[in-house]
Amino acid sequence: MANPLWRKKSISDLIHSSTNQERGLKRTLTSTNLIALGIGAIIGAGLFVRTAAAAAQNAGPSVTLGFIVAAIGCGLAGLCYAELSSSIPIAGSAYTYSYATMGEFIAWIIGWDLVLEYAVGAATVGIAWSEYLNNLLVNVMHWKAIPYEWCHSPFEVSTLGVHGMINLPAFFIVALLSLLLIRGTQESALVNGVIVVAKVAIVVMIIVLGWSFINPVNHTPYIPAATTYIDSQNISHNFGGFWGVIGAAGVVFFAFIGFDAVSTAAQEAKNPGRDMPIGILGSLIICTVLYILFAHVLTGMGTVEDFRTTGKEASVSFVIQKYMVGYSWLANLVTIAILAGFSSVILVMLLGQSRVFYSMSLDGLLPKSLGEVHPKYKTPYKANLFILVIVGLFAAFIPGDVVGDMTSIGTLFAFILVCAGVIILRKTNPDLPRKFKTPWVPFVPILGICICFLMILGLGWTNWLRLGVWLVIGLVIYFVYSKKNSKLNSPNS
């Protein structure tokens, strides 16, 4: 009898179940549609907030090189993700794929890890939303700012010595969007399209209009000498040199989270074998070019000290206001559009998290109640309420830099397992039909594992510690509850 830790779901049963339950999904998406989907999912808080954080803490102007390293790691993981999504062409996430390929234990780890990507990621964007809300109140509407103590975590202190207490705006937006999801409200294709166009247009405007305001002094030296930077929370960072660039890659990796949304659309692609890699890599390439140019302009206009002190919050609008004289309208436009864009990203992350919890509940790995559907709205409302509490507490009481790096390290770890999954599946199920094959296996998956692991190293020991604690908590839950309640353990339950 096989070890219970490695029991797998039947791939044929998954595909058969998908055929019976999801006949409404039509293959209508072209590669162009998938590229647009990827761009819409990728551009968000990562670009507008984490770019300045990486420049301040890790790399200065060489944050552009960090974007390149992060993009390569995402591209390699994306190729592996494309193979898994075309091999098991059902709606779902890496959790479902791993359950069918690597067994229940690895599936639990990935599912628990996805909480870091979606739930903690939503909290990170919620905190960014709070920062830009204050910018909107002060610079656009000319009202008073929300008092520091009511829009910052207890672990943050202002330059004037004011201690934060709770981030109420961040909790508010998380709660509001969670309740909308319970109600069943979904963004229409038109609204999504408008938000995507607005976000891309703003990035392009900042690049084009800001280029003439670049001060070459801010780019000299482009790769700062290796030193140690101690931030306001007394956490040390490798600044400058090789490890500064690698650390920046780990930080700005958050800006690429969301490209796997393209992979989840495999069942709706007209030609998954051709369109999936084009959609994944196409959106990554376009966003990478925009990211590098954006970071080059931002670090050329503002100084590292700007990003470390006054401009730390809502840094893009701050730099525009300070250095782009006569373009205050652009800063106002940036603030309004970013708030709308952040809202859509939070909504998608909360929706993704509820799907993961819903799937894990149906498998018996989480309490049955998390899989209960609202009798009227037909949504997993208890999962959404649980997520509201967890994400809301993270957003209200944990600093943005902390949760942002937790999201990055959790997603990087999940990508490592996805890359490994391709190698394992090639060995254990070589005859499985694959509409798309990752090239040069095992070289590409191994290289993806190495680059993602290198970015994890660059995030520093404090984030390793957080990841370790997170996984320990997950393992305790698995062995105390999930293992014995698994549906594979008692299929008739």
Give residue-wise pLDDT tens across range 1-28: 456 677 777 777 666 655 554 444 456 6
Element of type H or E holding 20? helix 11-21
CB atoms within 10 A of CB 488: 17
Residue 226 has pLDDT above 90, yes or no: yes
Least confidently predicted of 178-187, 229-238, 419-428: 178-187
Residue 262 has pLDDT above 50, yes or no: yes
- The domain segmentation of the chain, as residue ranges, is 27-485
What is the C-alpha to C-alpha distance for residues 23 and 75, in angstroms, rounded to an integer? 31
DSSP letters for 441-486: TTHHHHHHHHHHHHHHHHT-HHHHHHHHHHHHHHHHHIIIIIHHH-
What is the C-alpha to C-alpha distance for residues 39 and 289, in angstroms, rounded to an integer? 12
Cite the beta strand spans of 266-370 per DSSP E.
Answer: none
The pLDDT value recorded for residue 188 is 43
Is the full-model pTM beyond 0.75? Answer: yes
Residue 59 has pLDDT above 80, yes or no: yes
Which residues are 228's β-sheet partners? Answer: 238
What is the C-alpha to C-alpha distance for residues 225 and 248, in angstroms, rounded to an integer? 14
- Average pLDDT value for residue range 274-298: 87
Residue 335 has pLDDT above 60, yes or no: yes
The pLDDT value recorded for residue 311 is 60
DSSP letters for 371-394: GPPPTTT-S-HHHHHHHHHHHHHH
Burial 366-405 (b: 16+ CB within 10 A, else e): bbeebbeeeeeeebbbbbbbbbbebbbebbbbbbbbbbbb
The pLDDT value recorded for residue 132 is 82
CA 64 from centroid of its chain's CA atoms: 19
Which residue in the block uniquely carries the two structure tokens 């409200």?
Answer: 185
Q: What is the pLDDT of residues 411-456, one digit of tens each?
A: 888 888 889 889 988 988 888 878 778 899 999 999 999 999 998 8
What is residue 239's three-state secondary structure? Answer: strand
CB atoms within 10 A of CB 1: 4
- Average pLDDT value for residue range 106-120: 83
Which residue in the block uniquely carries the two structure tokens 């369109």?
Answer: 275
Q: What is the pLDDT of residues 158-169, one digit of tens each?
A: 878 888 999 999
Q: What is the mean pLDDT of the chain?
A: 82
The pLDDT value recorded for residue 225 is 93
Residue 390 has pLDDT above 80, yes or no: yes
pLDDT-derived band of residue 383, with 50, 70 and 90 as boundaries?
A: confident
Burial 75-97 (b: 16+ CB within 10 A, else e): bbbbbbbbbbbbbbbbbbbbbbb
What is residue 103's three-state secondary structure? Answer: coil
Phi, psi angles (nearest 5°) of residue 419: -60, -45
- Average pLDDT value for residue range 259-277: 67
The pLDDT value recorded for residue 268 is 58
Least confidently predicted of 148-157, 367-376, 445-454: 367-376
**What is the CATH number assigned to the segment(s) 27-485?**
1.20.1740.10
- Average pLDDT value for residue range 103-119: 84
The pLDDT value recorded for residue 192 is 61
- Average pLDDT value for residue range 193-201: 79
The pLDDT value recorded for residue 100 is 77
Q: Rounding to the nearest 10 degrees, give the CA dihedral for residues 40, 46, 52, 53.
A: 180
- Average pLDDT value for residue range 134-151: 88
The pLDDT value recorded for residue 337 is 77
* Residue % of the chain over a pLDDT of 90: 26
Structure letter (DSSP) for residue 357: H
- Average pLDDT value for residue range 77-101: 74
Element of type H or E holding 238? strand 236-239
More confident residue, 305 or 91: 305
